Amino acid sequence: MPSFLHNKYIRFAGTGILILVGIFVVFVVLASLNSARSTIGMSGDSLPYNTLSPSFSPPVEMNAYRANTEMATDGLSYYPPQPNTGNYTADLENFETTTYNITGKTRQFDEVCAVIKNLKNDDEIHFKNLNESTNSCSSVFFVEENKSEEILSLINSYKGVEYLRRTSSVTRYKQQLQSQTDILQQQLGNVQKSLYTAETQLNNLTNFYLTSEDVGTLSKRVNESLQLIDQLTQRKININRQLDSLFQQSADLEARMGVVEFSVNINRSNPIYPNKNSNKWERAWGELNETFTDTLIGLTAFFGIFLLWVFRLTIYGIVLLIVMRAIWKLIKFLWTK
C-alpha cells in the first residue's frame, strides 16, 4: 500500500493549509506593526509643552487668562457666606396655628368612633370630613380654641389613643400676604392713573380728529391710544384678580388662626374580616382550577411540542449519519487511492 504522504490529494491539501498559515502569520505581523505606530503617535501627542521643544511655551494670552481666573477666584472667596435666617422674623409667636394629630389602635374602637360621630351634631364644631369603615374611622374638624382642651380630653380618655400637638407660626406668611397686597394696590393705583390719562388723551384726539386735515397721523395716534388702553385694562384685570386671591388667602388665614384643627385616625386593635372562611374557600377553588388547567395543558399542548422536538432531532440525526457515512467512504477512497 503506498505511503499516506505520497498521495497527491493529501499533498495538495497540506500545501493549501501551509499557504493559509503563512498568510495568517503575515497578517498578524502587519497588525502588530500598525498598533505599535499608533501607540508611539499617541504618546508623542500627550507630551507636555516643555518636552517638545526647549523654547516652546503656552501663549501669553492663555497665561493671562489663567492669572485673571485665579485672581477672580481669590476675590470671590474673600467674601463671607450669606447667613441662613431660617425664615426668622420678629414677633413669630404673634400669629400661630395649632393642630392635634390623634391616632390610636384600641379595643374600644366602637366607643371612640361613636364619640367622634356625636361631635358632628355640635354646631360649634365644623367637620371637614368624616370617614368610617369596619376597622377604622377618621375625621378632620375644627373647633374654637377655648373648647379644644375639652375635645382633646374626651377623645384621649380611651386606652390606646395618643395625640401629637403641633403649633406653627404664620407671622411671616401673614406679613408676606400684606406686603404683596400693598405692592399690588400701589400698582393698581398707577395703572388707574395711566388709564385715566390715556382715555383723556383719546377723547382729545377724537375731538381734534373732526377738525384736522392730517387724518393719517391722527388715525395712527388714535390706534396707539386704543392699544395702550387695552393693555392697561388687561393689566388692571390681572391685578384685581391677584388682589382677590390675596384677600381670600388673608381671610382664610384669619379664620384659621381662630380655631384648632383636629386630625383623628382610629383603628380597631383586633380587625374584623367578614366572610373570612368563604374567601379562603374561594381562593382554594381558584388555585385548584388553575392547577387543573395547567395539568391539561401539560398533557396536551406541551406533550405535542415535546413530540415535535423528538421528530426534529430524529431527522437531524438521520441527516448527520448520512453525511458522516459519506465522509467516511470518501476518506476510505482517498486512503486506498
Residue 112 buriedness (CB in 10 A; 0-12 / 13-18 / 19+): buried
Backbone angles phi, psi at 136, to 5 degrees: -155, 155
**Same domain, yes or no, for 136 and 205?**
yes
Boundary-marking domain end, from 56, 79, 102: 79
**Same domain, yes or no, for 167 and 263?**
yes
> Residue 135: inside a domain, yes or no?
yes
> Residue 237: inside a domain, yes or no?
yes
Per-residue model confidence (pLDDT) at position 85: 46
Boundary-marking domain end, from 27, 45, 79: 79
How many angstroms separate the CA atoms of 48 and 50, rounded?
A: 6
> Residue 84: inside a domain, yes or no?
no
Domain of residue 318, residue span = 285-337
**Same domain, yes or no, for 122 and 222?**
yes
Per-residue model confidence (pLDDT) at position 61: 38
Candidates 144, 146, 145, 150; CA nearest to 115 is 150
Residue 329: half-sphere exposure toward Cβ, Cα within 13 Å: 5
Per-residue model confidence (pLDDT) at position 169: 82
Backbone angles phi, psi at 138, to 5 degrees: -145, 155
**Same domain, yes or no, for 246 and 325?**
no
Per-residue model confidence (pLDDT) at position 20: 61
**Same domain, yes or no, for 98 and 171?**
yes
pLDDT digits (tens, 9 = 90+) for 206-245: 766 666 656 677 777 878 888 888 999 999 999 999 999 9
What is the domain count for the chain? Answer: 3
> Residue 20: inside a domain, yes or no?
yes
**Same domain, yes or no, for 304 and 162?**
no
Boundary-marking domain end, from 240, 272, 304: 272
**Same domain, yes or no, for 61 and 100?**
no
Per-residue model confidence (pLDDT) at position 91: 65
pLDDT digits (tens, 9 = 90+) for 151-165: 999 998 998 899 999
> Residue 185: inside a domain, yes or no?
yes
**Same domain, yes or no, for 43 and 97?**
no
How many angstroms separate the CA atoms of 267 and 263, rounded?
A: 14
> Residue 277: inside a domain, yes or no?
no
Backbone angles phi, psi at 65, to 5 degrees: -65, -40
**Same domain, yes or no, for 177 and 243?**
yes
**Same domain, yes or no, for 186 and 252?**
yes
**Same domain, yes or no, for 137 and 236?**
yes
**Same domain, yes or no, for 44 and 170?**
no
User: Is the overall model pTM greater than 0.75, yes or no?
Assistant: no
> Residue 245: inside a domain, yes or no?
yes
Per-residue pLDDT 10s for the chain (337 aa) are 445 445 555 555 556 566 665 666 666 666 666 655 554 444 444 433 343 333 333 343 334 434 443 433 343 333 334 444 456 666 666 678 889 999 999 999 999 999 999 998 888 899 999 999 989 999 999 999 889 899 999 998 998 899 999 988 888 888 888 999 999 999 999 999 998 988 888 887 776 666 665 667 777 787 888 888 899 999 999 999 999 999 999 888 888 888 899 999 999 988 877 766 677 777 888 888 888 888 888 778 887 888 888 888 888 888 888 888 888 877 777 777 6
> Residue 86: inside a domain, yes or no?
no
